[in-house]
Amino acid sequence: MFKMFKMFKIKSLPILKRKRISLGCNFVLLVIGILSVTMSTAAYINYQSEHKALLSQLKNKGELLGTFVADVSKDAILGYDFVLLDQYMEDIADESEIVYSIIITPDHTALTSYLNDVEKYTNNILPDNHIDIIKKVNLHADIIAQKFPIFVDDKLIATLAIGLTKEKINELSWIALRDQLLQNGLIIFILSFSIAIVFRNNAVKPILELINSANEIANGKLDQRVIATRTDELARLAESFNSMTHAIQSSNIEKDKTLLQLRETNKKLEKVTQAKSEFLANMSHEIRTPLTAILGYAETLKYENAPPMITEEAIKAILENGQHLQHIISEILDLTKIEANKLEIENFIISPVKLANEFESLISLYARSKHLDFRIVFNFPLPEKIETDPVRLKQILLNLCNNAIKFTQSGSVTMYIEYLDDAQLLQIKIKDTGIGLTLEQQQKIFQPFVQADTSTTRQFGGTGLGLSLSQKLAIKLGGDITVHSAPGDGSTFTLTIATGDVASQSLVYDAAQLNSYNINPARKTGKSPLLKGKILLAEDTIDNQRLFSLQINRLGADLEIANNGAEALELIQQQEFDLVLMDMQMPVMGGIEAVKKIRRLGITTPIVALTANAIKEYRDTCIKSGCTDYLSKPVDWNLFRSTLAAYLTAEPEQDPVNPLYSKLVEEDPDFEEIISGFLEKIPDTKKDIQQYFNNKQWGLCQAKLHELKGLGGAMGYPDLGLAAKNIESRIKSNKFKNLDEQMGHLYDIFDRMIASHKSVKHAS
């Protein structure tokens, strides 16, 4: 510990005793540094330039000398006048930069040579002959080797080689660099000293005066002023100090202005609060109204002697008001999700024409109830398919059309649909002949919690959320909502949404093509098929237990009830269930805890979560805990039935293979015997076709299929005839790829016909 303290003390001490360096000293050091770097760099560049120039001169000198000697040596070489050659070498030796000179024949024989103190270039190691000595000298860094060939009649007779030394050049260059650096140092010293004196008098002294004035102001002497006698930045600094003093003195005035602004802001907040209060009051009315109807009619149903007409009316009112209440709550939740940026858009490929016509059947009932004409006008061409969120699109259209119908007393509501090719947007206009809107009202209607006129709430109802929510949803779908209106002239709301890439989609050009979309299919009648299976319901609320029991009993499934998660855990270990419906919030043991424990036991029974928490994050939590599926409360009973059907077995319905059977028999009772004989032969027919197909006896197989093609339709089995026709056509065209799949479909029809015939025989 003592060592650590000593280390800390030693390291901390210099920091505590660190002296401040004055601004003038800092500035002078900075100037010295800049000048030193700049001038040193310039000196080095000058040195390099001079050295390069001297080196170039040396090389040029060697070139001139070597060329001249090589030229005059031709005659001496041809005449074997070695005395003259030696004389040439001695002449070259007079130059101090020459280290060696030698004339060498093509067969590497030295005719004459001169060596000048070469030992220092070979580390005092001299080979036996001059040629090897010269090779070793050339390895030294200071040697510049030059060669000059000697030609006679384009024939090489010898080569003059000379070696130049750079020692003198290097020495002169370094002497020049040293002198320049000394000179630069003197210049830097004189400049730095001069700058220090000037900077102290013209910068440091005025700054010290400003510091003293600032200290006076800090001590409360607000009448302190700095006299600005200069015209540079320091004068501006002095003016800033004076401005600061003036600002402090006028702070009371600024405080009054700030208080005034706060009062104005407070008034705005009061308006916002009032708008929210009005919204809450309106919302309270909107929620209490359907709730009052639900409770009132529910009270009526308590009496056992209530007439059937009143009972039916009460049930209808409870359903309508319950749906209205659910719609209000959904709007509030959706708006909250959008504000929190948590609303998710799920895009699908849909037909805009089909969606619009389905929507027409939905909204036209409401329009007719007010004796209004509602119609959809398609402005062709339209893309066959677009990519968007159909649920959110319908939600927007419902809001816009409901508003249009609500505020229209007579006349019509028309929806115009067209495709904006340039912008790749689907544009939907909803035009009504209603009361219209003023310009001021148009500016308010898209604000949340605000209606165009508070009087409309009393007359027409509504929460003031619909248009705000619709516009935000439209923006989420890549478009927007705008309005054009005038009082008494109705309103036109224009919705645009992105369509995605429709380049590969076909276009619908006229109303004749609409039939291909099966726009208004006839509703299927008859009861839903009953479900087989055993269900465990974990639910703590008695009313919900009764409600779920009623729905499940209608579907035909068996039901066991647990009052909490602990009971559900115990029952699922004792009995086998086909499906578990698990409420998530229960006493004793909640749904999530129960699901986790069930999964830890290795039980894989499908579990559907039931919860009033419709937030996506909570749905994900349920799935992660081990739930297979998810249903939110209040339960959509159509979705409830389809969810149960996905996990339970349906009772067999009437055999769809023979939809014409009853009609044929009804028209001619004798036909029943003919069909019976036909069905008796089906097993053998199936066996023959299988054999022909497996053995690739395509001729026999085709003949049998041709026979079935005609008999299928005649006997009231169009599916059989169509399947046989498709396979026969493929065999004729020698298209055997994926034929196994179509044969499997044919065998399946055979099996269903055989099973149906056996059941009829057994019943008779």
Domain with 593 in it: what CATH number? Answer: 3.40.50.2300
pLDDT greater than 90 at residue 748: no
Do 389 and 426 lie in a common domain?
A: yes
Cα dihedral sign, 695-697-703-709: positive
Confidence at residue 595, expressed as pLDDT on a 0 to 100 scale:
94
**Do 460 and 447 meet the contact criterion of CB atoms below 8 Å apart?**
no
Residue 354 sits in the same domain as residue 503: yes
Give me the mean pLDDT over the 334-360 stretch. Answer: 78
574 and 425 in a common domain: no
Q: What is the pLDDT of residue 537?
A: 94
Query: Which DSSP letter does residue 201 get?
Result: I
Whether residue 481 is found in the same domain as residue 402: yes
Asked whether residue 367 is domain-assigned, the answer is: yes
The pLDDT of residue 552: 86
Residue 141 lies inside a defined structural domain of this protein: yes
Regarding whether 744 and 677 lie in a shared domain, the answer is yes
What pLDDT was estimated at residue 636? Answer: 75
User: pLDDT band at residue 15, thresholds of 50, 70 and 90?
Assistant: very low
Q: Are residues 457 and 594 in the same domain?
A: no
CA 710 and chain centroid, separation: 57
Same domain for 553 and 474: no
pLDDT band at 591 (very low <50, low <70, confident <90, very high): very high
CA separation for the pair 560, 620 (Å, rounded): 27
**Do 706 and 563 sit in the same domain of this protein?**
no
Cα gap 763→650, rounded to integer Å: 21
Domain extent for 438: 344-517
User: Nearest-CA neighbor of 139 among 161, 163, 171, 168?
Assistant: 163
Q: Domain check: are 356 and 479 in the same one?
A: yes
Same domain for 424 and 372: yes
Q: Strand, coil or helix: what is 535?
A: strand
Q: How much is the pLDDT for 455?
A: 47
Provide the edge-to-edge strand list for the sheet that holds 110-115: 110-115, 98-104, 155-165, 143-152
Helix, strand, coil share (%) of the chain residues, nearest 5: 60, 15, 25
Percentage of residues in the chain having pLDDT higher than 70: 74
Q: How confident is the model at residue 234 (pLDDT cuts 50, 70, 90)?
A: low
Mean per-residue pLDDT of the chain: 77
- Residue 406 covered by a domain: yes
Mean pLDDT of 342-348: 78
Q: Is residue 20 part of a domain?
A: no
Q: What are the residues whose beta carbons fall under 8 Å from the beta carbon of 603, sequence distance 6 or more?
A: 572, 573
Same-domain pairing of 368 and 502: yes
Distance CA 414, CA 429 (A): 8
Q: Are residues 461 and 431 in the same domain?
A: yes
* Structure token digits, residue 382: 């339209």
Q: Can you give the CATH number for the domain in which 467 is found?
A: 3.30.565.10
In angstroms and rounded to an integer, the radius of gyration of the C-alpha atoms of the chain is 52
Q: Is residue 205 part of a domain?
A: no
Residues 322-336 pLDDT 10s: 766 776 676 676 666
Of the residues 650, 675, 708, the one at which a domain ends: 650
CATH code at position 696: 1.20.120
Q: Band of the pLDDT at 11, cuts 50, 70, 90? A: very low
Mean pLDDT value of segment 246-275 = 75
Within-domain flag for 89: yes
Q: When comparing pLDDT for 134 and 291, which is higher?
A: 134
CATH number of the domain encompassing residue 109: 3.30.450.20
The Cα–Cα gap between 141 and 60 comes to 19
**Domain-embedded: residue 526:** no
Distance CA 431, CA 408 (A): 10
Average pLDDT over residues 352-377: 83
Mean pLDDT of 567-571: 94
User: Which pLDDT does position 518 carry in this prediction?
Assistant: 42
Please list, residue by residue across 198-210, b when 16 or more beta carbons sit within 10 angstroms of its beta carbon and e when fewer do. ebbeebbebeeeb
Higher pLDDT, 129 or 407: 407
Give the residue from 112, 145, 171 where a domain finishes.
171
Q: What is the pTM of this model?
A: 0.40
For the chain, the domain total comes to 4
In Å, how far are 514, 601, 622 from 597, measured between CA atoms? Answer: 54, 6, 13
**pLDDT score recorded for residue 2:** 36
Residue 400 near residue 493, CB atoms below 8 Å = yes
Residue 298 is assigned to a structural domain of this protein: no
Q: Tokens 């509030």 identify what position?
A: 332
Among 457, 487, 517, give the residue marking a domain's end.
Answer: 517
190-230: pLDDT as tens digits: 887 777 777 776 666 667 767 777 676 666 666 666 665 66
- Mean pLDDT check: name the lowest of 42-56, 247-261, 511-525: 511-525
Using DSSP, state whether 220 is helix, strand or coil. Answer: coil
